[in-house]
Each structure stands twice: as C-alpha cells, then as structure tokens.
Amino acid sequence: MKTQPIKIILDTDPGGDDSFAFLWLQSLARQGLAEIVAITSVDGNVHAKHTFAGSCKLLQLGGFSQVEVGRGVIGGSASEDIEDAGYIHGADGMGNLSHTLPAAHQDYETARYSDDLLIDKLNAAPNEMIVVAIGPLTNLAAAEKKAPGILKLAKQIVIMGGAFLQPGNVTPEAEFNIAYDPEAADLVFRCCNHLVVMPLNVTRKLVFTPNLAEQISAVNPDHPIAKFITALCQFMVGTAMTFRETAGKPGFLVHDAATLAYLFYPETLMFQRAQVDIETKGEWTRGKTIMDRRNNAKPTANAWVALDVDAVNLLAIIAEDLKFLIR
C-alpha cells in the first residue's frame, strides 16, 4: 500500500546537527516519504540572518530550492542570558563551510517572517502538518501570540529540547534550545498537549562518527553533498571533542535528527507520557525542563518524552538514507 508523505514544516537554526537533520529530511522527501511544506528558520545557534542563509543553501544543495524559507523572529527573551552556539557550529553555523555551498536563492530582507509563515501553513491545512522544531521555540511562541490557538492546528509538534534527570549542555541544568528562549518554550508547553520531546537523554547517545561519514561519501565521493558531509563532520567532531560532549569517542552528537527518527523510524525510540513544565525564574535552573514523576493524576499531561534510543540502529539508518541523497 502506498503511504502519503508526511507533511513537515521544519523550524531550524542550522547548525551542524541541524544540517544533518535537514539533509536527512531531504533524502526522505526524495524517497516520497516526506513533503517539505516550509522552512521556518530561527535565531539560535547563530544569528537569524545566518540560519536563514544556511537554510536556503541546504535546500539548494539538496534540490528543494522551491521550498519557501521564513526569516526568524528576533525578540522575546531569546539570547538574554545564553550566548549563541557559534563556538560549536562555526561562525556561519555550518562549520564555516557555507562559502562552499550554492548561493542562497531567497532574500532575507524580503522574506516573510517565520511566525507568519507558520500561521499561514497551519491555517491552510488544519491537523495535517507536523511541525518539527529543532531550534529555540521563539518562532512557535510568536505565532501563538499573534494567532492564539494556531499551534493546536498542527497535527503534532516534535521538539528537540530539554534534559530530564541529567545535566544540561549550556548550563548545569538546561539544554540549549530551551535555555536560549525559556519564555517561548514555556508558552509552547503551556498551550499544547500534542508535543513530542527528544531531550538530551536520547540525543547524547547519537554519536555520529567520521567512519559513518566516510561510508556515506564512499558511494559518490565527488558529489557536493558527500564533500559537505565529510567536511562538516570533521569540523563538528573537532568542537565536540573540545567541549567533551562524547565521552572521548571521536564523533559529534546529531541531536536534531532524533525528531525525524520519531516520525519515520519510531521502533528505535522508547517514550513516556508526561507533564512537562519549563523553569523560567530559577537563578541556577532557568531553562530547565521539569517532568512531574510523582504518582498523582496528570490530566493535563502535555508531551510524549523519549527516554531511550537504539542508537546503533538509528545511526546506521541515517547513514543509509543519506547515501540515497548522493547516489
């Protein structure tokens, strides 16, 4: 039986790991499994101007340049107390490799804002779109503020963010996407109950190695995507090792790819239904995700939270799908 492609709006802040998820999504779209409805770029890993340009370039590279890219909303509490992550992802967010990619084909100055694009696409097809949010939740919160109830029109919202009963990655307690704009995250977690959350609990297990990059590029080493994957992997491994993110294993964490695993390879993940809240006030805990684990009734539970992943299997799946893109 032929299945309908899953309609996806990707909210992203490329980002080394965003770039891998983005390419993987384009592979899934080429295979007829996904439809990329829009990209809503967001201020996060690097400034909104760079995440917009990076998104355009990745679409050009993957052959989906017709997809509209929104420019990230600037504002809210974004970046008040957390610096961006250019020190991990490179000044352009893409391992300082963006100059090797095709030129951006859409103009930042005239692009629609990402919140307007989200509102437009969700209104046009209620309960059909999956919003995959792999950056700070600034755009989603802005859309909800402008058009209350709009996020409920998404079929589901799949988020990379948070950490439960384990350390954060930008503060002792908080994960980057939530900590960068805690007020936005708070708003999204308060107004939705159809959230799927991929926290550091699972993404810390997804160590993408240079060996996997080599396996992919061996299929067609001269292909521009193969060259980009190899060079980006090399850059990301460098910063991941410096910041001791992989327990000494040469590789880097493909956090954002976990969201697509949920949609296309759900057998690789284990979930718990939960009431998740965002700490916005704590002096030491701002941006922390809290899961109420007491045995009391939770009629307002708002999220499915992934707590375990079959990492070996999932990484092999990602590599195979990326090969598809360069054949």
| Contact code string over 118-137 relative to ligand BDR, x by CB under 6 A | ----------------xx--
Does 18 engage in binding with ligand BDR (CB under 6 A)?
yes
Which residues ranging from 204 to 263 are in contact with Ca ion (CB under 5 A)? 256
Does 173 engage in binding with ligand BDR (CB under 6 A)?
no
Does 17 engage in binding with ligand BDR (CB under 6 A)?
yes
Of 256 and 279, which has the nearer Cβ to Ca ion? 256
Stretch that binds Ca ion, among 13-21, 52-60, 79-87, 114-122 (CB under 5 A): 13-21
Q: Alpha-carbon distance 291 to 141, whole Å?
A: 21
Of 161, 255, 244, 164, the closest CA to residue 201 belongs to 164
**Is the distance from CB of 77 to CB of 181 less than 8 angstroms?**
yes
Which residues ranging from 88 to 147 are in contact with Ca ion (CB under 5 A)? 134-135
Q: What residue type is 141 in one-letter code?
A: A
- State which residue has the least CB distance to ligand BDR: 176
Of 147, 114, 131, the closest CA to residue 44 belongs to 114
Does 162 engage in binding with ligand BDR (CB under 6 A)?
no
Going from the C-alpha of 238 to that of each of 58, 84, 118, 242, 244, the distances in angstroms are 22, 18, 35, 6, 10
Of 167, 161, 152, the closest CA to residue 182 belongs to 161
When binding is defined by CB under 6 A, the residue of 26, 27, 45, 217 that contacts ligand BDR is 45
Cis peptide before 15 (omega within 30 of 0): yes
Stretch that binds ligand BDR, among 108-116, 173-181, 188-196, 272-280 (CB under 6 A): 173-181
Listed in order, strand segments (DSSP E) in the chain are 6-12, 34-41, 69-70, 130-133, 156-160, 195-198, 207-208, 252-253, 269-274, 276-278, 289-291, 303-309
Of 43 and 256, which has the nearer Cβ to ligand BDR? 256
Stretch that binds ligand BDR, among 1-9, 11-19, 225-233, 289-297 (CB under 6 A): 11-19
**Is the distance from CB of 136 to CB of 188 less than 8 angstroms?**
no
Interacting residue ranges for Ca ion, rule: CB under 5 A: 13, 15, 18, 134-135, 256
In the complex, the residues that contact ligand BDR under the rule CB under 6 A are: 15, 17-18, 45, 85, 134-135, 160, 169, 175-177, 255-256
